[in-house]
């Protein structure tokens, strides 16, 4: 698997993962257990979305559309 998206938090990672899955791309959210690893402070930069290498180009295209607001959730 390859990382195709670094999310701001675990919630955003799940939104993007769901978008990919809804479009037939098998996706996985990484960083669940690292999110709160720094105690009381919010951890950032740990939540990511991973896909199979063969689907990375398609996934990145969908993510680009999502970031530009071309996809309504």
pLDDT tens-digit map of 19-32: 999 999 999 999 87
Tokens representing residue 62 in the block: 């969908």
Average pLDDT value for residue range 18-45: 76
Evaluate whether residue 38 is within a structural domain. Answer: yes
At residue 13, the pLDDT reads 94
Q: Which domain holds residue 9?
A: 2-67
Average pLDDT value for residue range 59-64: 97
How many domains, in total, are found in the chain?
A: 1
**CATH for 49:** 3.30.70.1530
Higher pLDDT, 43 or 59: 59
- Confidence at 36, pLDDT banded by 50, 70, 90: low
**CB distance 49 to 17 below 8 Å:** yes
Q: Is the pLDDT of residue 61 over 60?
A: yes
């Amino acid at each position: 698997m390859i990382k195709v998206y670094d999310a701001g938090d675990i919630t955003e990672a799940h939104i993007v993962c769901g978008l990919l899955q809804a479009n037939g791309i098998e996706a996985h959210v990484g960083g669940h257990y690292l999110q709160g690893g720094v105690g009381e402070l919010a951890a950032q930069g740990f939540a990511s979305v991973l896909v199979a290498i063969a689907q990375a180009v398609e996934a990145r295209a969908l993510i680009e559309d999502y970031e530009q607001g071309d996809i309504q959730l």
